Amino acid sequence: MGSTVSIIVRIRNLTNQDITATTVYDVDSFDFGATLRPDRVFAGAAIPSGSCLERTIELNSIASNCPFAVKMSFRNGATDAFKVNAKCAYDGTDPNFRHLVKSHHVFCKKSAGSRILEIVVQHTEAQMRNQRAEQLNREGDALLAAGRYHEASIKLLEAAQKANQDDTKAAIRRTRLQLDGAKGSDVDKRAEGLNDEGMQLLKENKYQRAIGKFDEGLKIAKNVYTVSLIEYNLRTVRDAKANQDAKKLNQEGLLLKKNNQNETALQKFDEALRIAIDPTLVNSIKINKADVLNIEGRTALESAWSAETSLPDRTEEAIHQFAKAKFLFEQAESLRHNPECRNDLDIVNIKVEGNKFFNAALQLESEGSSLVDKSVKSESSADCKMAREKYQEAWNNYKEAKKKFEEGLKKGDVKFELSLTATNEALHGIQNVLNELEKAELEIALKRADVVNKRGAAIGITVICASFVSPAFRKFCLPYIPATKTQIDNVLIALAGRQGRLLDVGSGDGRIVLGSTVDAFNIFTKMAKNHFEAHGVELNFWLVMYSRLNALTKGLGHKTEFHRGDLWKFHVGRYDNIVIFGVEQMMADLERKFELECKSNCHVVACRFPLPNKTPIRTVGHGVDTVWVYILNNHREPL
Ligand SMILES: C[S@@+](CC[C@H](N)C(=O)[O-])C[C@H]1O[C@@H](n2cnc3c(N)ncnc32)[C@H](O)[C@@H]1O
């Protein structure tokens, strides 16, 4: 033998089992020194759990490989064996490590230049899981001993899911059998069989069939363990199935959205959200639902804006659509924040708020108008004061509405311009009313009714009417242009021989209404007498007031009624005769209204502008004073 070189071999036991003996074999005398040979230095050595054993061995310096094999016997009967080339620790040749008998995870480490060859023995991952199962089984056992059966059952269930060694599985089963206080009944074996079939189906994504198996198993399972196991698996498969169904509904929703069937798409998303469990899936359904809500919200918003500015009146629809848009945007925001839609929501909120003030103001204005009527009759300054307070309140509300609409305009939505114009006009008009009420001390003015009668038309009416505009959101309104004497004569000729109820639509200062009840004009005395019960509907409350005063002073209060209101909202179905002196743009809409509402054989007399689609039965006069007479025969039941 030539010269020898020394290296250190170290075996590190990181398992929780003692190595009770090591046996070294396959040692060639040529490769090692005479005394410090692996089989001599390690012979029979024990390596307790968590410690390491280190030995110096001598290698023949001219041997190219110095292999030796070690068998390690563990206290629990497990064995590992490996073979390694010791020369690697000296000259860095290939350790040629081979794990011959495997119970644990065994590998070799060689740090460069250290001349130490280290063999590490540790548990495999499966062993670690199994150890955890053993631990859980012990805990289950303790709980069983303490009579805490339910907790014990949960421990054993977890242990069974982790165990991968037969003896551990058997130990768990023993504990379980003890827990059930039985040797394992046939039905439970059958139930477990069904559970296994269910698990297989679950793996194949056949959820419905798996649920069937688990349900069947649950029906027959008797022992607590089997029941818990199947219930646990049933929950798992139900969750998987719910997610699968939700995914399908989500897809269907998306398809419907693509086909613009948004309402049904929303139903699908709602259904999907009700059942989905997976948080990522839930989130993506929420995003899809929010998208559709936003689309629908925008549609509602568009319809609201257009309904608000259309004729005939669609205010109710506009209110409904704004509320709908608000509801949809709010829902969308709660699901997913989106700056663009947040802006739409802000706009709707501003508009809805503004409209609330605006409508409250309209209501107050109308209450104020009734109070003015009351004060006309009572001639009480207290009533007059109350009227002024109402108008003041209306003014405050219009002011708030104005703030809102300005806010909307600042947000860049030009649609607020119209609302703002209407509000400004209303404010301007009410300001005039307030001034008049204050200045003239209405009740004093009323006491001098005859003076008003003589001068009112010239002063009060023309001045106020010029500033007192039509209600908000109307595209066009009737200007106050009183009928000429010739025109009134023509109307009376047109109505010759007629009787019953008469309505002047947009009655102005009431001259047609009053004229139709008495023979106040020359021509009238020549014609058959027209003793109508005559009504007027008029938006401008000053004109209404003036008409009422005029009727009173002429002693015609009992034969006339003057309603303050919007002609588009005033039903004309109870009248036998209707007179209209309007503007050309509104004649088509009026014709439609008459067709819808007039009772059969109602005579409509149109002044200056004819009804565009109907043929008149008669035309009286010429030029600007022409009147056209129509018969409405729509066979409606009289109201
Ligand atoms: C051309 S004047 C006719 C007045 C009266 N009929 C006459 O012949 O002397 C039209 C009237 O309709 C009123 N008016 C305008 N829009 C209205 C509406 N939406 N509802 C009721 N009256 C309205 C105006 O204030 C005005 O007094």
CA–CA distance, 323 with 349 (Å, rounded to integer): 9
Dihedral sign from CA coordinates of 26, 31, 35, 36? negative
Which residue has a Cα nearest atom 19 of ligand 1?
566
Q: Which residues contact 627 (CB under 8 A, 6 or more apart)?
A: 487, 490, 491, 494, 605, 606, 607, 608, 619, 620, 621
Alpha helices in 163-259 (DSSP H): 166-180, 186-203, 207-220, 224-258
Q: Which residues contact 317 (CB under 8 A, 6 or more apart)?
A: 303, 304, 307
Nearest CA among 180, 161, 169 for reference residue 222 = 180
**Distance from the alpha carbon of residue 498 to the mean position of ligand 1, in angstroms:** 23
The enclosing H or E element of 262 equals: helix 262-275
Take residue 607 and report the two structure tokens written for it: 């002044």
Low-confidence ranges of the chain (pLDDT < 70): 1-2, 112, 181-186, 309-314, 372-373, 375-381, 432, 436-481, 516-531, 542, 549-550, 552-555, 634-639
The reported pLDDT for the residue numbered 375 is 65
Residue type, 67: P
> Domain extents for the chain?
4-123, 127-243, 286-337, 350-447, 485-632
The reported pLDDT for the residue numbered 474 is 29
Residue written as tokens 């004229």? 515
Residue type, 100: L
CA–CA distance, 68 with 66 (Å, rounded to integer): 7
The reported pLDDT for the residue numbered 313 is 57
Q: What is the CATH number of domain 4-123?
A: 2.60.270.50
**Distance from the alpha carbon of residue 140 to the mean position of ligand 1, in angstroms:** 92
The reported pLDDT for the residue numbered 20 is 96
Give helix then strand counts, H and E, for the chain. 22, 15
The reported pLDDT for the residue numbered 367 is 83
- For 508-531, the pLDDT digits (tens) are 877 777 776 654 332 222 222 356
The reported pLDDT for the residue numbered 250 is 96
CA–CA distance, 521 with 12 (Å, rounded to integer): 129
CA–CA distance, 626 with 631 (Å, rounded to integer): 17
- For domain 485-632, is the CATH number 3.40.50.300? no
Which DSSP symbol is given to 123?
-
CA dihedral 229, 235, 236, 239 (to 10 degrees): 180
∠ Cα 158 163 166 (to 5°): 140
The reported pLDDT for the residue numbered 112 is 64
* Ligand 1 atom nearest residue 607's Cα: 8
- For 19-57, the pLDDT digits (tens) are 999 999 999 999 999 889 999 999 889 999 999 999 999
Which residue has a Cα nearest atom 1 of ligand 1?
481
Take residue 63 and report the two structure tokens written for it: 């041997």
Which residue has a Cα nearest atom 15 of ligand 1?
478
* Ligand 1 atom nearest residue 465's Cα: 25
C-alpha distances (whole Å) from 271 to each of 110, 264, 266, 282, 558 are 62, 11, 9, 11, 65
C-alpha distances (whole Å) from 252 to each of 247, 331, 572 are 9, 21, 50
Residues with a CB atom less than 6 Å from ligand 1: 470, 477-478, 480-483, 504, 506-508, 511-512, 537-540, 543, 566-568, 581
Ligand 1 pocket test, pick from 313, 362, 507 with the greatest ligand atom count within 8 Å of Cβ, gives 507
Q: Are strands 67-74 and 19-25 parallel, antiparallel or unpaired?
A: antiparallel
Q: What is the CATH number of domain 127-243?
A: 1.20.58
DSSP for 547-575, written as a single string: HHHHHHHTT-TTTEEEEES-GGGS--TT-
* Ligand 1 atom nearest residue 474's Cα: 19
